[in-house]
Amino acid sequence: MLVLGIETSCDETSVAVLDEEGRVRSNIVSSQLAAHAPYGGVVPEIAARAHLENLPVAFEQALFEAGIEVSEIDLVAVTAGPGLIGALLVGLSAGKALAFARGVPLVPVNHLEGHLFSAFLRARGEAALPVERPFHGLVVSGGHAELVRVEEGRIVPLARTRDDAPGEAFDKVARRAGLGYPGGPVIDRVAARGNGSRYPLPVGRPGDGSNDFSFSGLKTAMLRELQKRRVNGGRPGAFGEPQGPPQKDYSDTLIDPESLEPDVVDLLASFQRAIVTALLDRVETVHREQRMRGLVVSGGVAANSELRRTLSEWGAARGVPVLLPERVFTTDNAAMIAFAGLLRYRENGVQDSLAATARSRWPLGS
Ligand code: KG4
Ligand code: ZN
């Protein structure tokens, strides 16, 4: 059995082929970074257009690399949400057309569920690791922070962010610091040479006793600290979502991370430490409440070196196996969508999948 996966929820156009053992036969990821870079963030209309252009090419390439014909596809798995509606519609429509034309089933996949199971995929043509439930999952990305318990047949949400996602905080701080988009990888590199305990930055918890996350206070505190130091790499008033064409190419204002003052390097390292500490704190609390049997950490922010190290050490100390995705599967890709689709298909089969609609919001477990 061969599964074709399609992912177009944000700024990566991706098509993958997976076999029934979760072996990745091909995983083409076409990034739109260059198209969005002048704006310092993802512009939805540009994303949708770029998907339209890139998807047929990625599709051909995915089949070619997997060495298969379109007639050999048995199942189509496509991201139906959450994400940018215009972007999602491109992949979902293509997936439906393909499934209809070939007479094969289509599974609409929750993008976060894709991330959740991405940690089980192996990069070098090996079968996926066996998925043994129950386990806990922490999905941390540019749009989400969700902590869930994955049981047989259901996903129980335990905590999510009340405001910004951690990746979003990385991106906005990096943008203000003039470090470009996406912010996570560059702050990760800069933080490696800084002192993360120099500035203890506060990360709030909602006052209602829930385990939810909140990162907007930290982000605002950071922006204030950067301003105090006259670090302002973005366009004037650059904070907030990009609107309309930039007054001037944002990438002109980028600065070389090597040229950052040591004090700013320490500040960025402290910012990263604060995010990692908040995530660890919630993982620890939930572990105390529920005794985790295993923890799976995924999403773009799961590429972060300090987070990977900290959670692995935590798991070793508590006797909780911690599973992290291989780095190629941390950021958006269609292999994870194909795999989540395959698991869903095995669990539930498919019902009237051509009626699936794109959903901009779609929390895990709903
Ligand atoms: O999962 P993803 O590719 O897209 C979403 O579904 O959001 O995640 C992208 C996010 C961006 O915010 C990016 O800055 C962040 O993941 N990211 C990182 C790192 N690599 C990517 N954040 C922290 N450290 C990293 N090394
Ligand atoms: Zn994602």
Question: What is the residue with the minimal CA distance to atom 8 of ligand 1?
Answer: 300
Which of 6, 208, 228 has the alpha carbon at shortest distance from 95? Answer: 6
- Banded model confidence at residue 250, pLDDT cuts 50, 70, 90: low
d(CA 21, CA 280): 32
The tens digit of pLDDT for each residue in 197-206 reads 999 898 878 8
| Atom in ligand 1 nearest the alpha carbon of residue 144 | 7
Which atom, in ligand 1's list, is nearest to the CA of 168? 12
Give me the pLDDT at residue 243, please.
45
What pLDDT is attached to residue 251? Answer: 54
| Torsion, CA 160, CA 7, CA 331, CA 348, rounded to 10 | 50
**Sign of the Cα pseudo-torsion (172, 334, 29, 43, in order):** negative
Q: Report d(CA 3, CA 72) in Å as an integer.
A: 9
- Give which of 330, 307, 179, 323 is closest to 254, Cα–Cα: 179
Asked whether the bond before 108 is cis by omega within 30 degrees of 0, the reply is no
Confidence band of 180 (pLDDT split at 50, 70, 90):
confident
The dihedral region occupied by 209, where left means phi > 0, alpha psi between -120 and 50, and beta the remainder, is left
User: pLDDT exceeding 90 applies to what percent of the chain?
Assistant: 81
Give the sign of the dihedral formed by CA 298, CA 304, CA 310, CA 316. positive
Q: Model confidence over 134-170: pLDDT tens digits? A: 999 999 999 999 999 999 999 999 999 999 999 999 9
In this structure, the residues whose C-beta lies within 6 A of any atom of ligand 1 are 10, 141-143, 167, 170-171, 182-185, 188, 299-301, 303-304, 331-332
Q: Are 280 and 97 in contact (CB under 8 A)?
A: no
Q: Closest Cα partner for 275 from 148, 206, 188, 177? A: 188
Q: How far apart are CA 15 and CA 66, in angstroms?
A: 11
Residue nearest to atom 1 of ligand 1 (CA): 300
325 - beta bridge partners? none
Residue 278 has a pLDDT of 96
Q: Which of 163, 285, 179, 190 is nearest to 231 (CA)?
A: 179
Cα separation of 328 and 319, whole Å? 27
CB–CB of 108/356 below 8 Å?
yes
Identify the CA nearest to 83 among candidates 364, 362, 360: 360
Peptide bond into 182 cis (omega under 30): yes
- State how far the Cα of 341 lies from the Cα of 177, in Å rounded to an integer: 39
Ligand closest to the CA atom of residue 187: 1
Q: 115-124, 125-134, 264-273, 346-355: which range is least confident on average?
A: 346-355
Distance in angstroms (rounded) separating the CA atoms of residues 167 and 305 = 14
Confidence of residue 103 (pLDDT cuts 50, 70, 90): very high
User: Are the C-beta atoms of 297 and 315 separated by less than 8 Å?
Assistant: no
- Which helix or strand (DSSP H or E) is residue 75 part of? strand 75-81
- What residues form DSSP beta bridges with 275? none
pLDDT, position 159: 96
When pLDDT is averaged across residues 307-314 and rounded to a whole number, the result is 98
- The residues with which 161 forms a beta bridge, in sequence order, are 213
pLDDT band of 351, cuts 50, 70, 90: confident
Return the residue whose CA atom lies nearest to atom 16 of ligand 1. 300
What digits encode the pLDDT tens for the residues 289-304? 999 999 999 999 999 9
Cα 163 from Cα 235, distance rounded (Å):
24
Contact of 107 with 341, CB cutoff 8 Å: yes
Parallel, antiparallel, or unpaired: how do β-strands 145-151 and 135-140 relate?
A: antiparallel
Buried b (16+ CB within 10 A) or exposed e, 290-319: eebebbbbbbbbbbbebbbebbbebbeebe
Question: Residue 156 corresponds to which amino acid?
Answer: V
User: 109 CA distance to ligand 2 centroid (A)?
Assistant: 12
Listed in sequence order, the residues at least 6 apart from 365 whose beta carbon sits closer than 8 Å to its beta carbon are: 148, 154, 155, 156, 157
245 has pLDDT over 50: no
Looking at ligand 1, which atom is closest to the CA of residue 83? Answer: 6
Q: What distance in Å separates the CA atoms of residue 210 and residue 343, rounded to the nearest whole number?
A: 31
Instruction: Find the ligand nearest to 182 CA.
Output: 1
